[in-house]
A = this chain, B = another copy of it.
């Protein structure tokens, strides 16, 4: 039993991502979409929190949203994986529930 969490807001503007990570169970997945993809950037003040989360939670970003914002996948921190919309659908299907952090 595990949950897919989605986060769609920039972690530099909004606390949603931090709150989401604080409520994940081991084995959950977090998918960052829309402005949320900035949460996957390496070398920021958030990287340590994210690296710590990655020990127990799978981290994903929606690649089309990343490309729209001009962020090269090489800029993602280690442990964050890109998925396309088909991958998004698979994540929803393979987790027991989806919780959207709006």
Measuring CB to CB, which residues of chain A are less than 8 angstroms from any residue of chain B?
A: 12-16
Chain B residue at minimum C-beta to C-beta distance from A13? B15
**In whole angstroms, what is the CA distance A15 to B14 when docked?**
6
Chain B residue at minimum C-beta to C-beta distance from A10? B15
A-B contact pairs, 6 of them (CB 8 A): A12-B15, A13-B14, A13-B15, A13-B16, A14-B14, A14-B15
**In whole angstroms, what is the CA distance A28 to B78 when docked?**
43
Shortest CB-to-CB span from A41 to chain B, Å, is: 16
Chain B residue at minimum C-beta to C-beta distance from A19? B13
**In whole angstroms, what is the CA distance A16 to B10 when docked?**
13
- In the assembled complex, which residues on chain B have CB atoms less than 8 Å from the CB atom of A14? 13-15
